[in-house]
């Protein structure tokens, strides 16, 4: 069993990361990386590269592409041709490229808010309209859940060039059902809207949850979908900036590759090495332990909030290490993010960055040791 209780110290004066961004007395529970070291097989591979000494240019090899394709088959029975796999410098650049090839000033990017803050940057970076299809919030006791408003989705899709799906969803932790995915896909196909499915959190499954990639659902959907995956969140190597776009349709893939090449989006050699090991299956024992630990953290968070913060409402995420907390029914006046930063010395993510529906909410990263999670929650409880 991997021990996730001891986390390394990342506070170093010459480094800028989530632990050094704020003053020393602030506990960071914001940016989506975890406090755990990456699995040993990945670290050993990186060490091997360092020991060999030459850190020259590397390109994504056919062996690496075969490894990525084989993982899709192993995890989901999804048959992907290795040549359908294109390496990208991370998922944010991956979906930005998709927006560049499939959107225009008249055909924008559609997504389901509140959603990952970088989605909101695409409109300015690419110069296209943003189309929100807000998810509808339901409250049951202190538990939040969200569902799709199909009328809004259908209305907005007509003005879109791409539908940028976040599945599993950040910050809500939803794994969309097969039924919902098929319905979203059918609407997109009918309106000739390209689906870009950001599945970066797809292996961070809590409890015994299962995941199905959008593109696995039918050949017709696969033809109309760019799937974005990466080992970065799952194996905690996001700083290596390496991800993959899976594009089964040849013509679409060629357009995508051309844009990647035009933008000179080269992937780092360390990212390629790490991805190969991550997707080879050598780290799956570690991943199993991680899921168990994160599920324990999620349960701890939910029980803590229910017991000690009865006015606070939260989602029970099915995947990710992200909690979504609603403070709109508490005595906090203004931004809960600012309130906790000032009064609890805890830095969470400001809800508003995920869309205006996030006002009065925060995202809390529980990808840390149980002890740090408890410390953070105690500080928040006392401040409340
Ligand atoms: C949904 C989602 N997509 C993409 C990213 C970041 O991807 P990358 O660092 O590979 O650009 C994140 C990071 O939090 C995320 O949550």
What value does the mean pLDDT take over residues 342-354? Answer: 98
Distance in angstroms (rounded) separating the CA atoms of residues 44 and 63:
19
Please write the tens of the pLDDT for every residue from 146-171. 999 999 999 999 999 999 999 999 99
Q: How far is the CA of 329 from the centre of ligand 1 (A)?
A: 30
Q: Which residues contact 68 (CB under 8 A, 6 or more apart)?
A: 80, 82, 85, 229, 244, 246, 275, 279
Distance 245 CA to ligand 1 centre (A): 13
Q: What is the rounded average pLDDT for all residues in the chain?
A: 98
pLDDT digits (tens, 9 = 90+) for 230-269: 999 999 999 999 999 999 999 999 999 999 999 999 999 9
Q: Let me know: does 68 contact 275? Beta carbons within 8 Å.
A: yes
122 lines ligand 1 (CB under 6 A): no
Percent of the chain with pLDDT over 70: 100
Q: What are the domain boundaries of the chain?
A: 27-38+284-383, 52-279
Ligand 1 binding pocket includes 116 (Cβ within 6 Å): yes
> Is the shortest distance between the CB of 92 and ligand 1 below 6 Å?
yes
Q: Could you tell me which residues come within 8 angstroms of residue 180 by beta carbon, excluding any fewer than 6 positions away?
A: 148
Whether the CB-CB separation of 119 and 112 falls below 8 Å is answered with no
H-type helices in the chain, by residue range?
Answer: 40-52, 62-76, 91-102, 122-126, 150-157, 178-190, 219-223, 250-262, 269-279, 284-308, 336-343, 370-383
The 10 Å Cβ neighbour count of residue 356 is 11
- Ligand 1 atom with the shortest distance to the CA of 32: 14
pLDDT band at 375; cut points 50, 70, 90:
very high
Calculate mean pLDDT across residues 63-69: 98
pTM given for the model? 0.98
Taking residues 78-86, report their average pLDDT. Answer: 98
Residue 122 to residue 92: CA distance in whole angstroms: 9
In this structure, which topology does domain 52-279 adopt according to CATH?
3.40.640
**What is the domain class of 27-38+284-383 according to CATH?**
alpha beta
The answer to whether 188 and 224 have CB atoms below 8 angstroms apart is yes
């Amino acid at each position: 069993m991997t021990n996730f209780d001891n986390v390394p110290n990342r506070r170093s004066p010459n480094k800028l990361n989530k632990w050094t961004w704020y003053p020393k007395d602030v506990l960071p529970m914001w940016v989506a990386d975890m406090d755990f070291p990456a699995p040993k097989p990945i670290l050993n591979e990186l060490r091997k590269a360092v020991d060999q000494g030459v850190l020259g240019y590397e390109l994504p090899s056919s062996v690496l592409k075969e490894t990525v394709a084989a993982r899709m088959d192993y995890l989901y029975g999804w048959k992907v041709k290795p040549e359908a796999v294109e390496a990208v410098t991370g998922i944010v650049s991956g979906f930005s490229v998709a927006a560049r090839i499939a959107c225009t000033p008249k055909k924008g990017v559609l997504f389901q808010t509140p959603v990952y803050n970088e989605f909101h940057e695409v409109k300015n970076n690419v110069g296209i309209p943003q189309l929100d299809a807000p998810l509808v919030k339901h409250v049951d006791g202190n538990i939040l859940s969200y569902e799709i408003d199909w009328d809004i989705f259908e209305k907005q899709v007509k003005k879109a060039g791409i539908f940028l799906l976040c599945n599993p969803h950040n910050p809500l932790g939803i794994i969309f059902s097969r039924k919902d995915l098929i319905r979203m896909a059918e609407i997109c196909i009918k309106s000739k809207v390209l689906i870009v499915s950001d599945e970066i959190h797809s292996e961070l499954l809590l409890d015994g949850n299962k995941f199905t990639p959008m593109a696995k659902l039918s050949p017709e959907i696969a033809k109309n979908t760019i799937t974005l995956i990466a080992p970065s969140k799952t194996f905690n190597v996001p700083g290596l900036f390496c991800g993959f776009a899976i594009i089964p349709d040849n013509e679409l893939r060629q357009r995508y590759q051309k844009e990647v090449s035009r933008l000179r989006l080269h992937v780092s050699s360390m990212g390629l090495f790490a991805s190969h090991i991550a997707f080879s299956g050598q780290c799956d024992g570690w991943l199993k332990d991680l899921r168990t630990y994160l599920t324990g953290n999620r349960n701890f968070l939910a029980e803590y909030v229910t017991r000690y913060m009865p006015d606070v409402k939260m989602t029970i995420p099915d995947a990710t290490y992200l909690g979504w907390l609603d403070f709109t029914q508490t005595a906090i006046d203004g931004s809960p993010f600012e309130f906790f930063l000032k009064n609890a010395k805890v830095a969470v993510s400001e809800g508003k960055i995920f869309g205006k529906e996030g006002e009065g909410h925060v995202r809390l990263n529980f990808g840390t040791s149980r002890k740090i999670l408890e410390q953070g929650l105690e500080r928040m409880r006392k401040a409340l």
